[in-house]
Amino acid sequence: MSRPVADWVIEHLQKRDDLTCELIDLADWSFPQFDLRKPPAMGNYEDRLQIAWARTISRGDAFLFVSPEYNHGYSGVLKTALDYLMGEWQDKPAACVSFGNVGGARMVENLQQVWVELGMIPASPSTHLLGAHGKRNGNKFVAEDSDGRALDRTVARLVDHVHRTKKQERAANDQKWPRILVLGLGERAIHSVVLPLQLNGWSVSGMTVPDVIARSPDAQDLDVISFGRGALGVDADQLKNKFASSNPEVRIVETFLPIATRQVEAACDALEGNAQALDAAVVSHMGDHFALNAEIAMETRLGVSAYTIEGTLASKRIVTIETGPGPVQIKLPVPKQDISGFMIEADGAEFVHVPIL
């Protein structure tokens, strides 16, 4: 039943011009059980599906769940989808369009408890559809006028809550500085940059290029826009001019790197006068070969826990070391004169190039 009901909800909401809505069908998301290595509350997601889900949920300002009641509760599928994330749900208003033999009211009460634990804002009243089966005609849910009015009441509450939370967010963001927008092509890459920075208290948001083209971000609310020319290609100058004209004060940082982490770092450093994230890199002679000792201190600011250190020789990878934060020592399998430097990556995002001294 959920899909016909959800289609009706979307169709009904699309008539409004004060909101945009997107249907997320859990039938398109197959979340494996027992699979995540870390609790989602830790935030630094490693699982690809989890990151994609996080990006999807991040897009929403509010959530309207369409769900039946099963044995006075909601489905395990829905619970898993909720449990797969944490921060992305927080401070987002939620309500339900429910159905079942008695309109799904008990299920909504169960669901509200979970929303509270996820930091969501339960908005009442939800819409309880009575006699839903009788209103189904094939794949279509044929709603009565009273269903539409109930849905309007639910959505009005959601919209009210969104306005209120946005206002609070704006007030809170005024305290946080600088406010940074990371632009890039890949959702995964953006998310791996944005989320750790957010968890460390930066005011950072991320957008993909198609999103930026479709929906211009409000440059008035930004101090730094960070993007990779490589990712944006010919659109770079166009976007740069667009932002520059809407807010001449905004600082635009661009590099040729495909991923934004380093630009964000550079922007933060430039604005705050912070020292380099990589504390020190010392290369010492060891007979014919060399060792690199580096102190990786980036986790203090970026919240990432796993690093890949990669040595390249004439663009060929000659050494790859997976490591955590702290001191590392790498013995090079080639003579010094053959090595020009190291690339250190965190969570798949290109980070810092360390030259051999």
Ligand X SMILES: Cc1cc2nc3c(=O)[nH]c(=O)nc-3n(C[C@H](O)[C@H](O)[C@H](O)COP(=O)(O)O)c2cc1C
Positions touching ligand X (CB under 6 A) are 1-2, 68-72, 99-102, 132
Residue with tokens 């959800």: 6
Q: Which is nearer to ligand X, 43 or 68 (CB)?
A: 68
Q: How far is the CB of 324 from ligand X (least distance, A)?
A: 45
DSSP secondary structure letters along 201-224: T-EEEEEEHHHHHHS---GGG-SE
Q: What secondary structure letter does DSSP report for 118?
A: T
Q: How far is the CB of 181 from ligand X (least distance, A)?
A: 40
Q: Which is nearer to ligand X, 101 or 238 (CB)?
A: 101
Q: Which is nearer to ligand X, 125 or 335 (CB)?
A: 125
- Helix 187-199 vs helix 261-272: crossing angle, to nearest 10: 30
Q: How far is the CB of 2 from ligand X (least distance, A)?
A: 5
Q: Which is nearer to ligand X, 68 or 206 (CB)?
A: 68
Phi and psi angles of residue 28, each rounded to the nearest 5 degrees, phi first: -90, -5
* Residues sharing a CB contact under 8 Å with residue 8, sequence separation 6 or more, in sequence order: 140, 141, 143
| Residue, CB closest to ligand X | 100
Residue with tokens 């990589």: 278
Q: How far is the CB of 182 from ligand X (least distance, A)?
A: 39
**What stretch of H or E contains 172?**
helix 145-175
- Which tokens in the block code for residue 83? 């449990």
Q: Which is nearer to ligand X, 131 or 355 (CB)?
A: 131
Exposure on the CB side of residue 237, measured as CA atoms within 13 A:
1
Residue type, 3: R
Q: Which is nearer to ligand X, 26 or 159 (CB)?
A: 26
Q: How far is the CB of 136 from ligand X (least distance, A)?
A: 9
Residue type, 265: E
Q: How far is the CB of 71 from ligand X (least distance, A)?
A: 5
In angstroms, the CA 67 to CA 86 distance is 20
- Which tokens in the block code for residue 285? 């002679």
In angstroms, the CA 94 to CA 62 distance is 6
The total of other beta-carbon atoms located within 10 Å of residue 156's CB is 11
Q: Is 155 helix (H, G, I), strand (E, B) or coil?
A: helix
Q: How far is the CB of 29 from ligand X (least distance, A)?
A: 16
Q: How far is the CB of 108 from ligand X (least distance, A)?
A: 11
The total of other beta-carbon atoms located within 10 Å of residue 259's CB is 25
Q: How far is the CB of 75 from ligand X (least distance, A)?
A: 8
Q: Which is nearer to ligand X, 63 or 99 (CB)?
A: 99
The total of other beta-carbon atoms located within 10 Å of residue 290's CB is 21
Tell me if 154 sits within 8 A of 127, measured CB to CB.
yes
Q: Which is nearer to ligand X, 69 or 187 (CB)?
A: 69
Q: Which is nearer to ligand X, 71 or 175 (CB)?
A: 71
Q: Checking DSSP bridges between strand 127-129 and strand 93-99, what pairing results, if any?
A: parallel
Of 307, 310, 300, nearest in space to 323 by CA: 307
